Amino acid sequence: MGAFDNIKNRRSVRTFLNIPFRQETEDYINGYLENLKTETGPYSHTLNISMVDIEEGKKVGTYGIIKNPQKYIAATVENTIEGLLDFGYLFEKMILDFNTQKIGTCWMAGTFKRTDFSHVTFRGNDIMPAVTPIGYFENRRFFENLMRKAAKADMRVPYETLFFSENFETPMVEHRALEAVRLGPSASNKQPWRVLVKDDSYHLYLEENVKYNNSLSFKLQYLDMGIAMYHLEVALKEMEIEKEWIKDNPNVSVPNGNYIYVISYK
């Protein structure tokens, strides 16, 4: 499966089959996490990541919406904007790679108690921005469809309000890599990413929901921006377009004061 199709086909899984992991699956996950610990995001952060057992029958997450998870993946990172961007980037890489192995996942950031993962070791200024349950899943289940409708997970902000060419007054024509960004998961499905394509470079902005972004002890929406970064990068690489992540603010006029320049791929 190609990168774009993997992004398109991935779904958040909240109801898992009540089947223990086969040994080969558990070996795959353990090996993957060991390798991931050595990988760095665009800002050179690593994740302190591990597979976690949760006490049987214990509900993790808002209203106990996660059913039959076999394990959880928990990770910590430095509590800085750059650390959160790298967390979103690396954690989403893992989630997409797990999807190719039919391992279900679901981003959980503001909907779980950190105390449920009190045995996870922290490094220095680390925080635990998100976790994911993991397990086997069926492609379509009634409960999953119901949850997606309730969360409006399949509703997407119109393309022309997300992506722009040369300036923020000119909508970008449809572009496969930008559609990969548009398909990304985001906290409460707010889809805060904005991309300006200018001089053959991709400039990423956060249209911040100020109250929401400051509702936790970290800047929640920068996880979404890290996800957008990874989606854009892998989709462009699939199109044989490879660039580098750098800070290069184009200093163009923005639509409103909530637009925050984040990073460029050029």
User: What integer is the mean pLDDT of 252-258?
Assistant: 97
Query: What are the C-alpha distances in Å from 9 to residues 12, 100, 155, 162, 232?
Result: 10, 10, 15, 21, 16
Statement to judge: residues 187 and 251 lie in one domain: yes
Statement to judge: residues 192 and 254 lie in one domain: yes
Residue 188: CATH number of its domain: 3.40.109.30
pLDDT in tens, 41-93: 999 999 999 999 876 545 665 545 788 999 999 999 999 999 999 999 999 99
* Residue 149 within any structural domain of the chain: no
Statement to judge: residues 29 and 125 lie in one domain: yes
- Helical H segments across the chain, by residue range: 3-9, 23-36, 81-100, 142-151, 176-182, 210-213, 221-238
Q: To the nearest whole number, what is the mean pLDDT of the chain?
A: 91
Over its C-alpha atoms, the chain yields an Rg (Å, rounded) of 18
The domain total for the chain is: 2
The residues near 163 (Cβ < 8 Å, ≥ 6 apart) are 171, 172, 175, 178, 181, 182, 194, 195, 196, 197
Statement to judge: residues 127 and 181 lie in one domain: no
**pLDDT above 90 as % of the chain:** 77
Instruction: Tell me the two tokens of residue 233.
Output: 């990068």
pLDDT of residue 229: 98
Q: Which domain holds residue 118?
A: 3-142
pLDDT in tens, 122-181: 898 899 999 999 999 986 554 555 554 544 445 788 999 999 999 999 999 999 999 999
Q: What is the torsion angle, in degrees rounded to the nearest 10, for the CA atoms of residue 79, residue 12, residue 212 and residue 81?
A: 20
pLDDT in tens, 172-230: 999 999 999 999 999 999 999 999 999 999 999 999 999 999 988 899 999 999 999 99
CB contact at 8 A, 250 and 198 = yes
7 has a pLDDT exceeding 70: yes
* Residue 147 within any structural domain of the chain: no
Of 145, 132, 121, give the one whose Cα is nearest residue 60. Answer: 132
User: What integer is the mean pLDDT of 5-33?
Assistant: 96
The whole-angstrom separation of Cα 227 and Cα 93 is 8
